[in-house]
Amino acid sequence: MVNYSTEKIERVRILISCQDQPGIVAAVSQVLFQYKGNIVQSDQHTTDPIGGMFFMRIEADIEDYEINSNKISDEFQGLAERFKMNWRLERASKKKRVAIFVSKEDHCLWELLWQQKAGHLDAEFAVIISNHPDMQRIAEEMNIPYYYLPVKAGNKAEVEKQQIELVRKYKADVLILARYMQILSSDFTRTFPNQIINIHHSFLPAFIGANPYARAYERGVKLIGATAHYVTDELDEGPIIEQDVQRVNHRDQLEDLKNIGKYIERTVLARAVKWHIEDRVLTYGNKTIVFS
């Protein structure tokens, strides 16, 4: 049995994706063993038994990580060249910094704040940015900086420039669109690839775009849902992280659908954010691998 000095141990998360081939798990394990790493959780997935893509997430406790971090990175870079793999290593102790974008609806914002307060979201809410002043009181109560940047005809590019500056100023690792009702430009989304999470009030790919509850009501749907996804150039077409649905019937009016939908939206978004900040999500093409 290996004895560890808990004062020097660092929990790390390692995410790997590459073409499936023999020796990957053994090579990764050997590097961790070499630097006194104890694997506490390991998950992997292969898209196809022959010639498919291989995905892996490892949590490991590494003794004296600070001293050996550069050497460990060099070792993994060597594996990356050998196996032609993408990889990243995250320290569990380093909380993700979050920028939250909101408009007028507050249910998703409140859910995120509550989840963090309850200890379920291990993140720092660095800044709240909005195109309306409505949420400023909430931000002040929670002691989170709030920026009101109204979007009007002709000033969208300038507003997005200010938003990007604020995200960088507050060193945000991830951007959450908590019912932020503005379409982001391609320049904005390309600035933060796989870092912007949106909650869409529909079970995608159904009812993409605006007013999905009204269109669902008109169609007489029997299920309504919500989808959390990464934002890309194409509206509501990014890789899906989480979804959920609830059954409705002919007695439910449009307002009923909206109220039911609010509950689904906030829970789906909170789960997606939690998985992202815990480094449980890998993207592949327009899909995600989400390790539980």
* Positions marked catalytic: 236
Q: How far apart are CA 173 and CA 150, in angstroms?
A: 24
Strands 146-148 and 281-284: unpaired
Within 10 angstroms of residue 247's Cβ, the number of other Cβ atoms is 10
Strand partners, 178: none
Q: Which residue has the tokens 């023999």?
A: 22
Q: How far apart are CA 176 and CA 128, in angstroms?
A: 10
Expressed in percent and rounded to 5, the helix, strand and coil fractions of the chain are 35, 30, 35
Cα four-point dihedral sign 283, 285, 286, 288: negative
DSSP state at residue 72: H
Burial class from Cβ neighbours inside 10 Å (0-12, 13-18, 19+) for residue 57 reads buried
H/E element, 275: helix 254-277
Q: How far apart are CA 197 and CA 226, in angstroms?
A: 13
Q: How far apart are CA 192 and CA 125, in angstroms?
A: 17
Q: In what order do the strands lie in the sheet with 53-63?
A: 37-46, 53-63, 9-19, 86-91
Mark 89-120 as b/e (b = at least 16 C-beta within 10 Å). bbeeeeebbbbbbbbebbbbbebbbebbeeee
